[in-house]
Structure 1
């Protein structure tokens, strides 16, 4: 499937590291042009260089996903650079460890802005380009904690990821007639920077497969959903959590 994304253009947020980086590398390796979007400029530019050095097509773009103006500018720059935009991967987000009584209003609002409102802004900014592409596909990265209550901490993160789940379904229904598919992916404990410094052994013990997942494993699912192999799949939610939510 080396050319699964030939003549396709993808915009991936949070692509400087973790799941976003793995998605960008996979799509590029399979023939797609990729806009690597992030606020970590050095890391993001490095991912774009890695793709180019491997013979792929990529460009780095600084994008604060909480900024409506930056979203519109990034989509316009994508179309200017590559001629179209048919794939949007909303992966950017931030987490926090606090209990609800220790979560300030400011922190709650910031997590919602970056993790939830960003998906709304991305949908809006890319809508015309996705519809015009003739093969529009959106994959929104939620979390298994957007489905279940988790540990009872990080209420802003859970609320944001739950909203991403519902917004994905809502947009899938709205855009189905335009040929744009929208799905959400719900990772479990994945070895990425957002997992933090907690005990991997403890998290693995809570998971039926008894291990932490990898960013590449999540990226494989995202790439499938973004491709024509998933041409009749929209409005779905897909867990990649080692069985955590099956318990």
Structure 2
């Protein structure tokens, strides 16, 4: 039996480099997956490629009404959700001195506010379904000083880690486990296209004890574990998929 047979999952940021691989893993594990992203057409294209039970839905994670619509669409299609994977995120390279207020607001809205709204609206559905899991995608940049830039992203992802622990305590006796995956730099195609061969790419490798970028599949494996009953006694915890960053 696959680990997520008969489980109903809402995945945000489904069409990004890591999100697509997470979607593939969840479907392979037997889940019915609502594929959400701000690009609805890309969600539909991904659904057509996946060999499984999927529901493509456009979602702006910063819009509370949009979350209500997704929850309703999933309930009407399958019933109340069992799992939420908060993967949607955007970044910025701005430092504490160079970041702009406009970009700060954008990053915090998607990465922090979007994660909270997902937990708020889907957490109640998970309770309704009889219990399940929330998996938040944080970042090593929200747990360390990183490369001394990406200031707004680090702030938002640090908040995701704190919200994960707080929500885990809130739901500890109510059947909803809340955990986080904390990746370091993951070698997705967009990242390599943007930074491959640059000084930033060199710094990523130089600061990773294992000496390589992570693979999206390694993040997806951690998500699948935390979404499944294999992690039934795990809540308020973090899995670092970071090549040793957190041990430095």
Matched, 1:177 2:162: no
- Which residue matches 1:132? 128
Task: Answer yes or no: is the 8 Å Cα contact 2:40–2:59 preserved in 1.
Answer: no
Q: How does 1:77-226 map to 2 (within 5 A)?
A: 77-192=73-188, 193=190, 197-198=194-195, 199=198, 200-226=201-227
> Does 103-112 or 193-202 show the bigger shift?
193-202
Give deviations 1:157-211, integer Å, cap 9, x for gaps: 0000000000000000000110100001110010123576223444223211111
> Separation in 2 of the partners of 1:142 and 1:195?
20
Structure 2 stretches lacking a partner, 5+ long = none
CA root-mean-square deviation: 1.4
Alpha-carbon offset, residue 80 of structure 1: 0.8
Structure 1 stretches lacking a partner, 5+ long = none
Report the CA distance shift for 1:30/1:207 in structure 2 as closer, same or farther (over 3 A): same
Scaled by the length of structure 1, what TM-score is found? 0.94
Task: Answer yes or no: is the 8 Å Cα contact 2:178–2:236 preserved in 1.
Answer: yes
Report the CA distance shift for 1:196/1:178 in structure 2 as closer, same or farther (over 3 A): farther
Which aligned segments of 4 or more residues in structure 1 are displaced greater than 6 angstroms? none
- Which residue matches 1:74? 70
Task: Answer yes or no: is the 8 Å Cα contact 1:16–1:38 preserved in 2.
Answer: yes
